[in-house]
Amino acid sequence: MDATLKGRAAVVTGSTSGIGLGVATALARAGAKVMLNGFGEPKEIDALRRRLEQEGGETVAYHPADLSKPAQAAQLIEDAEGALGRVDILVNNAGVQHVSPIESFPPEKWDLILALNLSSSFHTIRAALPGMRRRGWGRVINIASSHGLVASVDKAAYVAAKHGLIGLTKVVALETARTAITCNAICPGWVLTPLVQAQIDALAAREKLSVEEAKARLLGEKQPSLEFATPEQIGGLALFLCTEAAAQMRGASLSIDGGWTAQ
């Protein structure tokens, strides 16, 4: 499998930590130029950017776009094409979570989660596809979730958004089926990211558990392996989807969930 991405350029949304950083790191180490995006302290982001440049040997830039705002999502792609010369690989990873029963779910949280976890991918794909078509090659990778395939209580907006993202993935795959552009979704289960750590801390506080007990409870409810998937594993899968070995994988939803959706 040729995993060299020399000469390619990638945009990874929500990539200053967690899954997005794992994906950005894998692509940078494979030789791609990378545009990071996300929130964080400027000094920390700059240090991260410089570290990835050293590891991959190519340009790593940063864009502060707020992906919940359509104009900024589109601007991210335009600015990435200017900074990197092209956008060959688009990884839509930015997301947020809120947990609440539907009757008490704040409408503003619903709107934010749908905007960031679903609509932002529409806006970035819409902006990136014309350039991919002109150059005759592209990879769109949407980071969905096990919750794009199955549901859980108290996560109405997140489940709706991730199901929608898998539907969007299939449509883009069909619309690009006769080109060298592919679109697929990765569906992680529990991954120990800052987003999940916040859920663990909330569970520990609510149930008066230790953090380790809360982790075990969370995994035991859903993930038969009783192990978290890692950002590095998800980065490796994203890298595979960028290779020619994956050229006829189109519209797939690839689980990396410790057996969650096998049950």
The pair of structure tokens assigned to 247 is 């050229």
* 38-65 confidence digits (pLDDT tens): 999 999 999 999 999 999 999 999 999 9
What amino acid occupies position 66? Answer: D
Mean pLDDT (the chain) is 96
Q: Distance (Å, rounded) from C-alpha 40 to C-alpha 179?
A: 37
C-alpha dihedral (171, 175, 180, 183), degrees to nearest 10 = -10
pLDDT, position 2:
65
Q: Distance (Å, rounded) from C-alpha 130 to C-alpha 135?
A: 9
DSSP bridge pairs for 256: 188
Which band of pLDDT confidence, cut at 50, 70 and 90, is reported for residue 1? low
| Domains along the sequence of the chain with CATH | 9-189+229-254 (3.40.50.720), 190-228 (no CATH)
196 pLDDT higher than 90: no
Q: Which one of the listed residues 14, 21, 157, 158 is annotated catalytic?
A: 158
| Global confidence as pTM | 0.95
62 is catalytic: no
What amino acid occupies position 125? Answer: I
* Side-chain half-sphere exposure of 144, counting CA atoms within 13 A: 32
